[in-house]
């Protein structure tokens, strides 16, 4: 038995690898590792070998039998009876919550609120655990439409959700047949609401985050600052919180005269309750199960070290719910905890000073989480290490205790909580002001991009080897091994990006708008044509979302980071329509832009003027061009063929660019319409065009017969929004393209499209739809 308990980390690894084989895309690598691990464990001890087989069998059964691979619902169903599974989320005029149907399957219910009165009513009336009868329609979640976009469909699948239920109305919701689990969830919901009503932000936000694990109402700028500076983990309920609850309960029970064994049994009951009250995130489940394992070991005199306990908990969680493995919180929680436990004896042996130990432990934690961080976020803040050193003790020893004291005293009487609340407010306002300021400090973020799978595996191996070298080294040399890993990894990723001999032209899916990214071979330059943008319609205050979708930030900037691009060498803004330049505000100040190119007829209004001035202060050059000008970029050149004369319609003032990339002729037309096309045909004959960006999203006022007959392109790209209000692309335009046997690629149907080229020509064309 001791031999088995002493190898729990191998068995946990077996569970993880088994799940990777069955659910992952690249199954050959984990399969090979799984076979090697099995052979090793059988070689070490037969009991370990059979334990390995048992774990892989249990994991496989859990996936194959208990995780549904497809829905059993009828898509035509229109009336649904079910139970509210989580706290309903209200953002602006949208209500949503997981809805467990009577059939046993969970869907995501969404509902468009009709008025502020209804919003206030439902926010008070809807409770977790209530049973409702709801009319509505089922629709399948949309998959990601850009190459590095967040895959919402996959995210829902990992929660075993196959459908979105668009409800027509929310009624007939009642508290019937509530379980103890439902009562606990309702208590949590009531407390979150009570805290939000009793205290002002940021106090209410931090209490809900640290006491109840609920960040739903937290200011998005603050969350972004925590995330970009690498301290988002401090907002997660984890072992620190569980330890605080256990310590408080133990001391109080001892004071009341309870014996140790009874206190332990009481803790075994309290811990699961606390897990439910804090939302059941992977980090708190890990901490809770770890505490349960320690208590059980203590009661039954079973000796297990911390490493074995955390490994056992990992295996149990993966077998119980294989989809945990795909949650970022699970990945970071276990990897960082495992690394710290593994290195703790060496840290205690090598370093006497508490401050030095904190520094080294922080470096180790960042090293362990580094591969996961760049895989998900593509970048790392240079200030992350310093910020962690400051904020770990601040949150641990000051903010967290104050949050608990404020909540508990406020639960007794409001007057008692006034003092702690004021102190907490002063600390948080200054701390968050500092974080937001640090986030804006220039040149403090390293962009790694989305590393290829092979490079990611090498980074993981490098992190492991760095820890091994650190363990053997002494003094400053040991720390240098850890620091040098980050430096070597950054330069490796940079060199890999620079060595790409192929260039790329990517038409991003920005909805009803344009944004085209051109990456020249060997990282010689990045050109962005337009930035997309969603026209902001005026809405009543109650309809506004806390964190509305922004094309520039959530699509364009995200894709640039994923590609490892930290600088735009030339930003071409074709004309001033919002669906072409609206995303610029999210790029200005967030990424270095060397040059902005606009036409002589680009009318800069006050809103844009401030953005241009901000960019100019950061060293961006503004260049105006007109037909006949040539934009040279190394061996490449971009010929401006329009506009020639200013027109009343800004669409026909679009900056039209002709270029040759990989021996293929490209024409980027902005929102050019019939008059602009005719103007070009009058001045230019025999335009060699292979790939045409169709003007004005395929509007019937563009892409005329004469235009197509003159250009004779082989491929037509239509950048257009799905189910847009303008009816683009026009059926007439599509007929014209089809009659000329052109290959038509639409971003609303195919998602983003990427062309790869080298000196010899095009070597690959792929769309998000084909990639999926």
pLDDT digit string, tens, across residues 584-607 = 999 988 899 999 999 998 888 877
* Domain locations in the chain as residue ranges: 2-66, 79-178, 503-533+548-771
The terminus-to-terminus CA distance of the chain in angstroms comes to: 46
Residue 771 pLDDT: 58
Question: Whole-angstrom Cα distance, residue 694 to residue 677?
Answer: 11
Mean pLDDT (whole number) for 53-70: 85
Per the document, the length of the chain is 772
pLDDT tens digit sequence for 246-263: 988 999 999 999 999 999
Exposure on the CB side of residue 258, measured as CA atoms within 13 A: 15
Q: With beta carbons less than 8 A apart as the criterion, state whether 606 and 580 touch.
A: no
Mean pLDDT (whole number) for 645-674: 90
Question: Whole-angstrom Cα distance, residue 401 to residue 407?
Answer: 10
3-class state of residue 492 by DSSP: helix
Average pLDDT over the chain, rounded to an integer: 90
Residue 220 pLDDT: 84
H or E stretch at 296? helix 282-299
Residue 687 pLDDT: 86
Residue 648 pLDDT: 66
Question: Whole-angstrom Cα distance, residue 650 to residue 653?
Answer: 5
- Which of the four pLDDT bands, split at 50, 70 and 90, describes residue 102? very high
| Paired residues of 147 in beta bridges | none
Query: How distant, in Å, are the alpha carbons of 215, 500, 557, 696 from that of 575?
Result: 40, 32, 20, 11
pLDDT tens digit sequence for 173-230: 999 889 999 999 999 999 999 999 999 999 999 999 999 999 887 888 899 899 999 9
Question: Whole-angstrom Cα distance, residue 768 to residue 669?
Answer: 23
Question: Whole-angstrom Cα distance, residue 222 to residue 199?
Answer: 18
Q: How far is CA 648 from the centre of its chain?
A: 42
Cβ atoms < 10 Å from Cβ of 691: 23
Give the residue from 420, 422, 423 showing the smallest Cα distance to 407.
420
Percent of the chain with pLDDT over 90: 60
- Architecture per CATH, domain 503-533+548-771, reads as 4-Layer Sandwich (3.60)
Question: Whole-angstrom Cα distance, residue 84 to residue 81?
Answer: 10
Residue 559 pLDDT: 97
**What are phi and psi for residue 304, nearest 5 degrees?**
-140, 130
One-letter-per-residue 3-state SS of 441-487: CCCCEEECCCCCHHHHHHHHHHHHHHHHHHHHCCHHHHHHHHHHHHH
Q: With beta carbons less than 8 A apart as the criterion, state whether 157 and 144 touch.
A: no
Q: Which residues of 48-70 are buried (b: 16+ CB within 10 A; e: fewer)?
A: bbebbeebbebbbebbeeeeeee
- Maximal C-alpha separation, the chain: 97
| Paired residues of 633 in beta bridges | 636
By the 10 Å C-beta count (0-12 exposed, 13-18 middle, 19+ buried), 96 is classed as middle
Range of lowest pLDDT (74-88, 319-333, 666-680): 319-333
3-class state of residue 746 by DSSP: strand
Give the residue from 539, 616, 531 showing the smallest Cα distance to 577.
531
Cβ atoms < 10 Å from Cβ of 754: 19
Which pTM value belongs to this model? Answer: 0.91
Better-predicted residue by pLDDT, 769 or 30: 30
**What are phi and psi for residue 505, nearest 5 degrees?**
-120, 115
Question: Whole-angstrom Cα distance, residue 10 to residue 44?
Answer: 12
DSSP state, 754?
E
Residue 197 pLDDT: 92
pLDDT tens digit sequence for 473-515: 876 777 777 778 888 888 888 888 788 889 999 999 999 999 9
Q: With beta carbons less than 8 A apart as the criterion, state whether 691 and 755 touch.
A: yes
**What are phi and psi for residue 458, nearest 5 degrees?**
-70, -35
DSSP state, 353?
S
Q: How far is CA 208 from the centre of its chain?
A: 22
Give the residue from 675, 646, 674, 506 showing the smallest Cα distance to 576.
646
Residue 470 pLDDT: 83
Give the contacts of 762 (CB within 8 A, at least 6 positions apart). Answer: 662, 664, 755, 756
Question: Whole-angstrom Cα distance, residue 510 to residue 110?
Answer: 23
What secondary structure does DSSP assign to 126-194, as a single string? --TT-EEEEEEEEEPPPPP-STTS--HHHHHHTTTEEEEEEES--EEEE--S--HHHHHHHHHHHHHHH
pLDDT tens digit sequence for 401-411: 999 999 999 98
Better-predicted residue by pLDDT, 357 or 537: 357
Orientation angle between helical segments 239-255 and 282-299, nearest 10 degrees:
40
Q: With beta carbons less than 8 A apart as the criterion, state whether 249 and 263 touch.
A: yes
Residue 196 pLDDT: 93
pLDDT tens digit sequence for 269-289: 999 999 999 999 999 999 999
Query: How distant, in Å, are the alpha carbons of 71, 419, 516 from that of 409?
Result: 47, 10, 56
Question: Residue 609 pLDDT > 90, yes or no?
Answer: no
Question: Whole-angstrom Cα distance, residue 646 to residue 652?
Answer: 8
Question: Residue 6 pLDDT > 50, yes or no?
Answer: no
CA angle 330, 333, 334 (to 5 degrees): 85
Residue 772 pLDDT: 58
Question: Whole-angstrom Cα distance, residue 278 to residue 284?
Answer: 8
Question: Residue 154 pLDDT > 50, yes or no?
Answer: yes
Question: Whole-angstrom Cα distance, residue 150 to residue 173?
Answer: 33
Can you tell me which residue has the tokens 């898509």?
Answer: 75
- Architecture per CATH, domain 79-178, reads as Beta Barrel (2.40)
Percent of the chain with pLDDT over 70: 98
Exposure on the CB side of residue 116, measured as CA atoms within 13 A: 6
Give the contacts of 594 (CB within 8 A, at least 6 positions apart). Answer: 567, 568, 569, 570, 619, 620, 621
Strands 715-718 and 691-693: parallel
Question: Residue 645 pLDDT > 80, yes or no?
Answer: no
Q: How far is CA 390 from the centre of its chain?
A: 25
- Which of the four pLDDT bands, split at 50, 70 and 90, describes residue 4? very low
Question: Whole-angstrom Cα distance, residue 479 to residue 469?
Answer: 10
What secondary structure does DSSP assign to 670-702, as a single string? TT--HHHHHHHHHH--S---SEEE-GGGG-TTS
Better-predicted residue by pLDDT, 87 or 8: 87
pLDDT tens digit sequence for 157-173: 988 999 999 999 987 89
Question: Whole-angstrom Cα distance, residue 582 to residue 601?
Answer: 18
pLDDT tens digit sequence for 707-731: 999 999 999 999 999 989 899 999 9
Question: Whole-angstrom Cα distance, residue 752 to residue 565?
Answer: 18
Give the residue from 459, 466, 461, 457 showing the smallest Cα distance to 20.
457
* Alpha-helix residue ranges (DSSP H) falling in 24-167: 28-44, 46-66, 116-125, 152-157
List the structure tokens of 59: 């994991």
């Amino acid at each position: 038995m001791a031999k088995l308990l002493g190898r729990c980390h191998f068995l946990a690894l077996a569970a993880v690898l088994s799940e990777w084989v069955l659910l992952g895309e690249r199954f050959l690598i984990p399969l090979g590792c799984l076979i090697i691990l099995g052979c090793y464990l059988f070689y070490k001890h037969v009991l370990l070998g059979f334990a390995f087989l048992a774990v892989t069998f249990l994991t496989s059964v859990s996936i194959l039998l208990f995780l549904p691979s497809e829905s059993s619902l009828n898509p035509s169903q229109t009336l649904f009876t079910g139970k509210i599974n989580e706290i309903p989320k209200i953002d602006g005029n949208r209500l949503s919550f997981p809805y467990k149907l009577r059939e046993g399957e969970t869907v995501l219910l969404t509902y468009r609120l009709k008025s502020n009165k209804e919003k206030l009513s439902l926010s008070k009336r809807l409770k977790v655990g209530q049973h409702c009868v709801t009319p509505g329609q089922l629709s399948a979640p949309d998959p990601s439409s850009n190459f590095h976009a967040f895959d919402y469909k996959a995210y829902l699948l990992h929660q075993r959700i196959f459908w979105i239920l668009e409800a027509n109305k929310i009624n007939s919701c009642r508290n019937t047949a509530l379980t103890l689990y439902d009562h606990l969830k309702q208590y949590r919901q009531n407390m979150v609401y009570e805290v939000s009503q009793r205290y002002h932000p940021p106090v209410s936000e931090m209490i809900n985050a640290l006491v109840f694990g609920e960040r739903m109402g937290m200011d998005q700028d603050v969350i972004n600052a925590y995330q970009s500076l690498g301290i988002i983990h401090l907002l997660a309920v984890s072992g620190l919180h569980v330890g605080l609850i256990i310590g408080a309960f133990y001391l109080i029970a001892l004071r009341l005269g309870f014996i140790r064994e009874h206190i332990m049994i009481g803790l075994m009951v309290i811990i699961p309750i606390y897990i439910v009250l804090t939302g059941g995130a992977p980090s708190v489940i890990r901490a809770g199960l770890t505490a349960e394992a320690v208590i059980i070991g203590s009661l039954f005199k079973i000796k297990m070290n911390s490493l074995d306990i955390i490994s056992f908990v990992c295996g149990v969680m993966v077998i119980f719910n294989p989809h945990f493995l795909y949650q970022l919180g699970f990945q970071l929680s276990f990897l960082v905890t495992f690394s710290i436990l593994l290195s703790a004896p060496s840290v205690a042996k090598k370093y006497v000073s508490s401050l030095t130990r904190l520094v080294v432990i922080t470096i180790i934690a960042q090293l362990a989480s580094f591969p996961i961080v760049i895989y998900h976020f593509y970048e790392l803040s240079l200030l992350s290490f310093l910020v962690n050193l400051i904020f770990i003790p601040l949150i641990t020893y000051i903010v967290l205790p104050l949050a608990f004291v404020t909540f508990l005293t406020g639960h007794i009487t409001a007057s008692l909580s006034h003092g702690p609340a004021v102190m907490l407010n002063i600390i948080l306002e200054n701390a968050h002001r500092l974080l937001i300021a640090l986030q804006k400090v220039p040149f403090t973020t390293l962009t790694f991009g989305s590393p290829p799978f092979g490079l990611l595996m090498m980074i993981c191996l490098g992190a492991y080897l760095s820890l091994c070298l650190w363990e053997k080294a002494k003094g400053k040399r040991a720390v240098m091994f850890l620091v040098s890993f980050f430096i070597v990894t950054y330069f490796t990723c940079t060199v890999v990006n620079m060595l790409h001999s192929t260039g790329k032209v990517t038409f991003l899916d920005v909805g009803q708008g344009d944004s085209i990214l051109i990456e020249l071979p060997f990282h010689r330059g990045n050109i962005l044509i337009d930035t997309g943008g969603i026209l902001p319609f005026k809405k009543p205050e109650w309809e506004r979302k806390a964190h509305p979708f922004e094309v520039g930030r959530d699509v364009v900037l995200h894709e640039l980071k994923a590609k490892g691009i930290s600088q735009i060498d030339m930003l071409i803004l074709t004309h001033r329509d919002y669906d072409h330049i609206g995303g610029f505000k999210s790029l200005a100040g967030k990424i270095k832009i060397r040059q902005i190119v606009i036409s002589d007829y680009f009318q800069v209004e006050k809103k844009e003027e401030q953005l241009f001035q901000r960019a100019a202060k950061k060293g961006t050059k503004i260049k105006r061009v007109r037909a006949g000008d040539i934009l040279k970029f190394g061996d490449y050149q971009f010929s401006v063929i329009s506009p020639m004369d200013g027109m009343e319609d800004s669409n026909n003032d679009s900056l039209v660019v002709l270029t040759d990339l990989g021996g293929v002729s490209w024409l980027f037309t902005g929102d050019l319409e019939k008059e602009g096309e005719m103007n070009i045909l009058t001045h230019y004959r025999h335009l060699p065009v292979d790939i045409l960006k169709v003007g004005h999203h395929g509007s019937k006022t563009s892409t005329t017969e004469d235009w197509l007959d003159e250009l004779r392109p082989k491929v037509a790209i239509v950048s257009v929004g799905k189910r847009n209000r303008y009816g683009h692309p026009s059926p007439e335009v599509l007929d014209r393209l089809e009659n000329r046997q052109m290959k038509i690629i639409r971003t609303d149907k195919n998602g983003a499209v990427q062309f790869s080229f080298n000196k010899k020509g095009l070597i690959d064309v792929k769309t998000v739809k084909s990639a999926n």
